[in-house]
Structure 1
Amino acid sequence: MPASAAPRSTPTHASDVLHRLGITLSRWWPSRQVAAVSTRQVQLLALVSPLDEAVDAQPAADRAVAACGEPGPVPASAAQDAGQQNTVYHRLMIRLRGLRVDNNLLVLQERASRLLTYHEWMLHQAVNLATSLQTDARVEAARLRLNGLGAPAADLRELRDEVRAMAERSCHEQAPP
């Protein structure tokens, strides 16, 4: 009898069934890829990306905060713009915190996280004050003090420039001669 016509043996024990099932699943299930360890250069470039986007979003965020602090009734569009910018900074914060960096870059990541948190908080406060149903003098005075993101915006730009310079130095150091 040819080999292809031979009847397949059927497993008789539960362990045989489980063994064959395991082999079948291991062939079907995708293998786990081990992530490559990121180099310092890759980590710095990954840090620069959300910082670049945060700095690019600053003018719109600054205008939104300032519009919420203008005297008189706040247009709904100003509060809506501040809310949208708050979402931008929240997403950038999530991306930044999701990055895995070495301990020596952790200080930069935490500093960036604090600055993005400030931006997000300021935008949130602007929306709250602009849409507050309370019309007492304290709320109005707090709202009128809103005039933009302030010094933390400059700090964020400086941090971005610092991390970008470190990334560029790292790129030049690793370039073949």
Structure 2
Amino acid sequence: MRKHFHHVRRALNDLLHPPPAPQPSHTSSLATLLPLLDRAVFLQPQAEQVIQECAAPGKPAEDLAQRGNAVVVGYWKLRRDLLPIEVSVVDRPVKERIRSLLLYHEWSVHEAVDCACSPQQTGKMRIARAQMRGLGAPGTRLRELRQDLSAEYAALTGPGSDQEENGGPAACRPSQAP
């Protein structure tokens, strides 16, 4: 009876406390993050256009709120997609920076649309609209981060690297005879 209890307890412990999953490599983290960054940068012109239209004096276009909300949802979905991505310990600060930049983009467009499409335009709202300047420095930082990580990934996976795309690490592949 005791022996059986020990096996049951061990099985339950294994179910409740599985061994930690292996950490992804830096290269695989970059490979996972880059497509998400591509999508974020792709949305930027739409975000800039919406913010520019929100900043314009007068009544906003009838479809501005709808177009702006589509951009907001786009950045929200990117943040949602980023959340479950497992990255190497080295890349955790990068993932957090991406999350913060996506949140800023989402918030900027949301606030611009909210201000421009409010049914009651106060003096403060008109001043805020006139001061809108787009995504600004955080937009540039997102593009630079994407460019830097892309260059780093290319260096890690390019010809002569330890992580060439076809076949994994160079040390694991058979050498080719001349």
TM-score (norm 1): 0.75
Retained in 1: the 8 A contact 2:25–2:87?
no
Specify the alignment match of 1:59 in structure 2: 45
Q: How does 1:61-76 map to 2 (within 5 A)?
A: 61-76=47-62
Q: CA deviation at 1:97?
A: 1.9
What are the superposed Cα offsets for residues 36-95 of structure 1, whole Å, 9 maximum, x if unpaired?
753321111111111111111111111011111111101121222111111111101111
Q: How does 1:33-112 map to 2 (within 5 A)?
A: 38-112=24-98
CA distance in 1, matches of 2:154, 2:144: 15
Which blocks of at least 5 consecutive residues in structure 2 are unaligned? 1-19, 165-169
- Is this contact kept in 1: 2:68–2:110, CA < 8 A? yes
Does the alignment pair 1:168 with 2:154?
yes
Corresponding position: 1:119 with 2:105: yes
Letter in 2 for 1:108: V
The residue aligned with 1:131 is 117
Distance, in Å, in 2 between the alignment partners of 1:137 and 1:44 is 46
2:102 alignment partner AA:
L
Task: Count the aligned residue pairs.
Answer: 144
Larger Rg: 1
> What is the aligned partner in structure 2 of residue 159 from structure 1?
145
Q: Is the 8 A contact 2:25 2:88 kept in 1?
A: no
User: Within 2, Cα distance between the matches of 1:112 and 1:104?
Assistant: 14
> What TM-score results when the alignment is normalised by the length of structure 2?
0.75
Query: What SS does the aligned partner of 2:162 have?
Result: helix
User: 5+ residue gaps in structure 1?
Assistant: 1-33
1:63 corresponds to which letter in structure 2? Q
Give 1:164 deviation, angstroms.
1.0
* Residue 35 (structure 1) shift: 7.2
Taking only the aligned residue pairs, the percentage that are identical comes to: 33
Letter in 2 for 1:152: P
Q: C-alpha distance in 2, partners of 1:80/1:140?
A: 21
